[in-house]
Amino acid sequence: MSGEIREEIQQEETQQPEREVQQEVDEGVQQEAQQEEKPRSGYIDYNALPEEVRDTVKMRVDGDFRKMKALEKKELEYQQKLKEYEEKLSELNRPKEIQPPTADDFYNDPEGAEKRLQDYNNYVSKKVDWDTSQKLREQHQQQEIERQQAERQQLFLKKAESAGISQQELAYAASIAAPVLGDDAQSYLVGHDYGPQILRQLVKNPMDLQELANLNPYQVGVKVENMAKNFKPTKVTKAPPPDEPIQGSGVDSKDEYPILKGSTIF
């Protein structure tokens, strides 16, 4: 009897390593299957994240977006106040209107009329100078607006050039996206490091473009950051094939800044 028990114990000890190996193999296969089910595009499903992680991500994205909008608002307020101060100063410098002397003035008070005529001529001269300064100020304001727009566009074009996106292709993408997207979404894209790539991808996928147009500012930030993950450099030994360029027409190559066509943001 003791011999049979001893034999069973020996068989158990012999089979134990085999069962452990088989268990490890089964666990490895299960893990690989789970990994294959996960998307490999770099997309993160925020709804699948733990609540505390979602809250952290929301606060970070929302905080960055609020900071950007706060800076834009502060800049606009500064420009508006500066414009108001310039207008007030200009109004203070406006020459006081003086009426020319009449024929009766020369008849009743020749000396007084001569003085009034001289004062009137001085007023006319000062009024001409004031009107000229007003026009120059308005021209300067318009030039400053155009300069800022040109700087934003040039920076956006440089990003596109670095990503291998032509100016014509970018202008076409902007002409498609600008009428659909709101100011918040456009501003977020223009200021993003991968804005041109994301813009091109949106035009290639109209459903994503329409979805972005319907999102609130926080959701815009989340979606744009999610899409940006597809364009961030990864550690690979072989570069992926470039995206196929989108085709389009209607861009006037003679325009100095064709990307501005159809949008005050892009």
Query: pLDDT value at position 4?
Result: 56
- One domain, residues 155 and 187: no
Any domain includes 154: yes
- One domain, residues 147 and 115: yes
As a whole number of angstroms, the distance between CA 248 and CA 244 comes to 13
Any domain includes 105: yes
- Residues of the domain holding 189: 165-231
Any domain includes 242: no
Mean local confidence (pLDDT), 192-206: 90
As a whole number of angstroms, the distance between CA 66 and CA 230 comes to 24
Domain boundary among 140, 162, 184: 162
Any domain includes 240: no
DSSP assignments along 152-216, one per residue: HHHHHHHHHHHTT--HHHHHHHHHHHTTTS-HHHHHHHHHSTTHHHHHHHHHH-HHHHHHHHTS-
Any domain includes 147: yes
- One domain, residues 172 and 226: yes
Give which of 191, 195, 204, 186 is closest to 227, Cα–Cα.
195
pLDDT band at 188 (very low <50, low <70, confident <90, very high): confident
Any domain includes 51: no
Beta-strand ranges (E) seen in the chain are none
Distances (CA, A) of 36 to 29, 33, 205, 229, 230: 11, 5, 25, 19, 18
- One domain, residues 124 and 147: yes
- One domain, residues 148 and 170: no
Query: pLDDT value at position 107?
Result: 87
- One domain, residues 116 and 140: yes
Question: How many Cα neighbours within 13 Å face the side chain of 50?
Answer: 3
As a whole number of angstroms, the distance between CA 226 and CA 229 comes to 6
As a whole number of angstroms, the distance between CA 16 and CA 33 comes to 26
pLDDT band at 121 (very low <50, low <70, confident <90, very high): very high
- One domain, residues 169 and 145: no
Any domain includes 209: yes
pLDDT band at 251 (very low <50, low <70, confident <90, very high): very low
Any domain includes 61: no
- One domain, residues 210 and 177: yes
How big is the chain by its Cα radius of gyration, in Å?
A: 35
Count of domains for the chain: 2
- Tens of pLDDT, residue by residue over 19-71, are 664 565 466 545 554 544 444 444 455 566 666 666 666 666 666 666 766 77
- Tens of pLDDT, residue by residue over 62-90, are 666 667 667 777 777 777 787 787 788 77
